[in-house]
Amino acid sequence: METFTNLTSQLSILEFSYLVASILFILGLKKLSHPATARSGNLWAAAGMGAAILFTILFHKTNVQLADGTYESKGIHNIGWIVVALAIGSFVGWYASVKVKMTAMPQMVSIFNGMGGACAALISLMEFPKMQNHFASLDASHMLNGEGIAILLGLMIGGVSFAGSMIAFGKLDGRIGDIKHPVLRIVNLTFLVVMLVALVLILFMKPQTDNNLPIYLFAVAALVYGVTFVMPIGGADMPVVISLLNSFTGVAAAMGGFLYGNQAMLTGGILVGSSGTILTILMCNAMNRSLLNVIIGAFGVAGAGGTEAADKTVKEISLSDASILLSYSQKIFIVPGYGLAVAQAQHLCHELDNLLTSKGVEVKYAIHPVAGRMPGHMNVLLAEADVPYEKLVEMEDANNEMNNTDVVIVIGANDVVNPAAEDDPSSPIYGMPIIKALDAKNIIVMKRSMAAGYAAIPNNLFYHPKNRMLFGDAKATLQKLVAEIKSL
């Protein structure tokens, strides 16, 4: 294959593979946004990625200046080590993704996003000294050029994305609490301005050989900013934050593409950057909030909202009453929440559903767009338990059917059925669309205790005359309920 040893043909094959990769990324994203084609879309994008990686290793060339001033085109070295690194990363990544529980999926996505951000930041950290030494040898007066801007932005955005993703992971996993203080807002804003000023100052710095302290300090600052950026945002808003950081990492990757003149990195990164931003806004819309509102962290800010419910009483329902009520109903809606998933009770929930359906009861699931820990997360969790797709009803359609529903069973959900979102302007979730459980004839709330939901807002639904509580762990309670209904 003599043609493949020719420099021009190798480079054109490489660029052609980047073109194919870019097309596959675009088609992959397009297919990912339709339920029927989503899975193949993911595979298409993966194929594009594989091709881009393979051809980069085989055919990438860099011009290296020789001692006599002429340039020589050099291919990729250290291929052995690169393959080892690829193998380690592939194994760990594959193993972690196969082993992770579906409930912990948001945390996993957050970690992977952070890895991408760290990768982009490391690239910048290695390229900056090279660029500075090059300019120093030319005796340039500053480093203000496309390369310099791309390196510094890549470092800043990648660093913020890495540190922010790790904090988001910690919050979702319940390892890190929220630190909410109004001062933090001012600190963050100041920090951002300082970082941008530092970026400009470094660009205007006179390049000196091996003067790398400024860039290291800049990297540390980006990491600290990533932490303080995510810290005040409430745990319930982490999905939005992950989506935002996801688009950040996209932009950081695109900076690398700009630096190397690499079209695959450029298109891939920018596509994720822009589609990620739109996705973030769509998620905010689903909660009827603005992105700014999320970032500033209005959710559950100390002292905010919710009427006190301290001296009100709740009514309990016994298992036998509950089983009779359910068995003789015509139409039931199940409102699942994260509590259901945490208790791993999806399968039991499906069993209850089958049992009641066999008795002629119409059972459906009302899915709030942000039920679970991420939009669409609940659909994934119920799909895992083989609940048929037709039974999952989106919020708006479910609300239209509530008037002729006999019982709404709320399992491990709280904020998504909180009427304060509709009638209490002082509540932090005021304006968020909810599932209107109160429109149904009866409500049963299955809950471990009277503790507040993830957003820490009191819920008046629990005290409503229509509602009765069935306390206990979702899994154990469902088990008993199924047994009770069977024995009827």
Partner 1 sequence: MEEVFKFFLEYKEMIFIITLSVFLGIEVISHVPAVLHTPLMSGSNAIHGVVIIGAIIVMGHAENTLSLIFGFVAVILGTLNVVGGFVVTDRMLEMFKKKKN
Nearer to partner 1, 97 or 318 (CB): 97
Q: How far apart are CA 77 and CA 67, in angstroms?
A: 19
What residues from 350 to 379 belong to the interface with partner 1 (CB under 8 A)?
Answer: 369, 374-377, 379
Select the span of 48-56, 179-187, 226-234, 307-315 touching partner 1 (CB under 8 A).
48-56
Q: Is 275 in the site for partner 1 (CB under 8 A)?
A: yes
Site string for partner 1, 246-265 (x = CB under 8 A): x--xx-xxx-xxxxxxxxxx
Q: Is 242 in the site for partner 1 (CB under 8 A)?
A: yes
Q: Do residues 437 and 402 lie in contact, with contact meaning Cβ atoms separated by under 8 Å?
A: yes
Nearer to partner 1, 84 or 488 (CB): 84
Nearer to partner 1, 46 or 194 (CB): 46
What residues from 81 to 100 belong to the interface with partner 1 (CB under 8 A)?
Answer: 81-82, 84-86, 88-90, 92-94, 96-98, 100
415 is catalytic: yes
Nearer to partner 1, 88 or 186 (CB): 88
Among 387, 410, 411, 445, binds partner 1 (CB under 8 A): 387
Q: If we measure between CA atoms, which residue out of 393, 374, 382 comes closest to residue 341?
A: 382
Cα 11 off chain centre by: 37
> Which position among 178, 237, 353, 415 bears the catalytic label?
415
Minimum distance from residue 166 beta carbon to partner 1 (Å): 12
Q: Is 226 in the site for partner 1 (CB under 8 A)?
A: no
Q: Is 19 in the site for partner 1 (CB under 8 A)?
A: no
Nearer to partner 1, 23 or 217 (CB): 23
Nearer to partner 1, 243 or 467 (CB): 243
Q: How far apart are CA 312 and CA 463, in angstroms?
A: 7
How many CA atoms lie less than 13 Å away from 109 in the CB half-sphere?
Answer: 19
Minimum distance from residue 464 beta carbon to partner 1 (Å): 27
Q: Is 337 in the site for partner 1 (CB under 8 A)?
A: no
What residues from 408 to 467 belong to the interface with partner 1 (CB under 8 A)?
Answer: none
Cβ neighbours of residue 87 closer than 8 Å, sequence gap 6 or more: none
Nearer to partner 1, 41 or 472 (CB): 41
Minimum distance from residue 372 beta carbon to partner 1 (Å): 8
Nearest 5°: CA angle at 386, between 382 and 391? 65
Among 179, 201, 282, 488, binds partner 1 (CB under 8 A): 282
What residues from 100 to 159 belong to the interface with partner 1 (CB under 8 A)?
Answer: 100, 102, 105-106, 108-109, 111-113, 115-116, 118-120, 122-123, 125-127, 144-146
Select the span of 209-217, 240-248, 334-342, 456-464 touching partner 1 (CB under 8 A).
240-248
Q: Do residues 251 and 270 lie in contact, with contact meaning Cβ atoms separated by under 8 Å?
A: yes
Cβ neighbours of residue 22 closer than 8 Å, sequence gap 6 or more: 48, 263, 264, 267, 268
Among 53, 223, 224, 393, binds partner 1 (CB under 8 A): 53
Minimum distance from residue 229 beta carbon to partner 1 (Å): 19
Neighbours of 13 (CB within 10 A): 15
Among 286, 343, 348, 481, binds partner 1 (CB under 8 A): 286
The residues annotated as belonging to the active site are: 415
